[in-house]
Amino acid sequence: MPDLATHLLAQTTINQLPWIRKIAPFTLLGATAPDLVKGFSRWATPAEKWWVYPFHSPLFMAILFYAVSLLFHEKDRPYVFAGGIIGVSIHVGLDLLQIHLIGEYFIFFPFSFQTVSFGLFPPEATLIWLPVTIAVTAAAIIIRKLIVKRA
């Protein structure tokens, strides 16, 4: 749960940039989609969890968001696709920084089944730094509102 909160908060902070406002809902979806799918896999046995692994692959998620964008009106499709890709990129980038005790992250799927991790932060770091992440996100929102109010 703290990991999902970190992904949401990091993307919410980035969404305060003025040029990203139109695609903000889709960036939030992209930032959480891989972990939401992983959450559904908790009902499956370990032998049945193979289908979750590609959801941390940028290429797989690009194909998925392209398919999702087809459900939208033609003029909105580029926003859905771009927002999803930006969100997934932030998600995968944050995941690469963590040490993973369990789970498989095949970010080069389908070209490689090699897992990748930079291992800079322990798994509990998201919980330890969650109050700081909340404060940074709140500050970004307040600053954006002050800038918009002055303009």
DSSP string, 40-75: HGGGS-GGGGGGGGGGG-HHHHHHHHHHHHTTS-TT
pLDDT, position 68: 94
pLDDT band at 26 (very low <50, low <70, confident <90, very high): very high
If one compares 125 and 64, the residue with the highest pLDDT of the two is 64
pLDDT band at 25 (very low <50, low <70, confident <90, very high): very high
Percent of the chain with pLDDT over 90: 42
- The one-letter amino acid at 22: K
Instruction: For residues 133 and 139, give the distance between their C-alpha atoms in angstroms, rounded to a whole number.
Output: 10
pLDDT, position 4: 84
Residue range 13-29: average pLDDT?
91
**10 closest CA partner among 35, 38, 39, 31:** 31
Q: Say if residue 120 is exposed, middle or buried (CB neighbours under 10 Å; 0-12, 13-18, 19+).
A: exposed
Residue range 96-101: average pLDDT?
77
pLDDT band at 101 (very low <50, low <70, confident <90, very high): low
Domain residues for 40?
A: 2-150
Instruction: For residues 41 and 89, give the distance between their C-alpha atoms in angstroms, rounded to a whole number.
Output: 22
* Number of domains into which the chain is organized: 1
Which residues is 98 bridged to in the sheet?
121
Tokens of 78: 């580029």
Instruction: For residues 147 and 121, give the distance between their C-alpha atoms in angstroms, rounded to a whole number.
Output: 34
Whether the model clears a pTM of 0.85, i.e. scores above it, the answer is no
pLDDT tens digit sequence for 37-81: 777 766 766 666 677 777 788 888 899 999 999 999 999 999 999
